[in-house]
Amino acid sequence: MTTEQDKYILKVDELGVSYGTVEAVKDVGFNVLQGEIFGLLGPNGAGKTSTLSSIEGLVKFKRGSIVVNGFDVIQQPLEAKASMGVQLQSTSFQAELNVTQILQLFAGIYGVPMSKKQVASVLTEINLEDAGKKKFSQLSGGQQQRLSLVISTIHNPRLVLLDEPTTGLDPQSRRQLWERIEAIKASGRAVLLTTHSMEEAEAVCDRIAIVDHGRVIAIDTPQALVDKHCHDPEVIAASRRGKVTLEDVFIGLTGKAVRA
């Protein structure tokens, strides 16, 4: 019998990250289920990037545990990393390679067989069928993000980590990327994304965690957070249109001060 516990693709428990004497992450904990899009929201400096970097294996955490697809990232780092696909906010690839060559290179790195016909099929799927001979720098922002996403998932990882994936995209490109993220979810995989866009969080996330000053201060579905906090004085004060939104809740919980 499969329990909900067995369905967790990512488990973060009492995570602590410090940089010298500065404690950036303080006992952060959350779980992400298979077939779930989970959003990590927070002001600048709240600790979400340190949390994401710890999961990716880029930052050594001081305490706590992280388990990806059943593999502890400290005890079984190779297996954990093999279960992840990562799309960073800013991505660059080998300048001398064209799009087709980049796809073939990363397929080879991940040990995924990819013939010229399969490359053409992938490019058609992400609407880049005419861009195979272009360099990455010659692509538009939306095209770059679509290519980066398909490369990060080329090995069919159980967990996909997306760091502000739609920053700077126009509405059409953003909607297209949302559809691809939702397709990842529909395949039974899990997605963890960071975003500053409350619209994005409401549009694609099944659940979100709001992080501030290194701690998780709220975690639930977007609508449940609105329903729970819509009568809070700070949230009402943040509301500008009468009807409380997720952004109002976010401002009410984290404050109006601009973070560096």
Mean pLDDT (the chain, rounded): 91
Residue-wise pLDDT for 72-125, tens only, equals 999 999 999 999 999 876 667 787 889 999 999 999 988 888 888 999 999 998
Residue-wise pLDDT for 57-72, tens only, equals 999 999 999 999 999 9
Task: Please give the radius of gyration of the chain, using alpha carbons only, rounded to the nearest integer.
Answer: 19
| The token pair that represents 176 in the structure block | 């297209």
Would you say residue 125 lies in a domain? no
Would you say residue 14 lies in a domain? yes
| The token pair that represents 6 in the structure block | 């067995």
Would you say residue 141 lies in a domain? no
**Using 50, 70 and 90 to split pLDDT, how confident is the model at 1?**
very low
pLDDT of residue 206 exceeding 70, the answer is: yes
What domain count does the chain have? 1
**Can you give the pLDDT at residue 91?**
67
Query: CA-CA-CA-CA torsion for 108, 114, 119, 123, nearest 10 degrees?
Result: -70
Would you say residue 103 lies in a domain? no
**Can you give the pLDDT at residue 232?**
92
Would you say residue 113 lies in a domain? no
Range of the domain at 183: 4-83+157-254
**Can you give the pLDDT at residue 109?**
87
Angle, vertex CA 163, rays to CA 209 and CA 222, nearest 5: 30
**Can you give the pLDDT at residue 165?**
86
Would you say residue 111 lies in a domain? no
Residue-wise pLDDT for 189-201, tens only, equals 999 999 999 999 9
Query: What number is the average pLDDT over the span 160-180?
Result: 88
CATH code of residue 37: 3.40.50.300
pTM surpassing 0.85?
yes
Instruction: Give the integer Cα–Cα distance in Å for 238 and 251.
Output: 6
Residue-wise pLDDT for 5-45, tens only, equals 558 999 999 999 999 999 999 999 999 999 999 999 999 88
Would you say residue 32 lies in a domain? yes
3-state secondary structure of 216: strand
Instruction: Give the integer Cα–Cα distance in Å for 145 and 195.
Output: 15
Instruction: Give the integer Cα–Cα distance in Å for 90 and 137.
Output: 12
**Using 50, 70 and 90 to split pLDDT, how confident is the model at 177?**
confident
Would you say residue 174 lies in a domain? yes
pLDDT of residue 249 exceeding 80, the answer is: yes
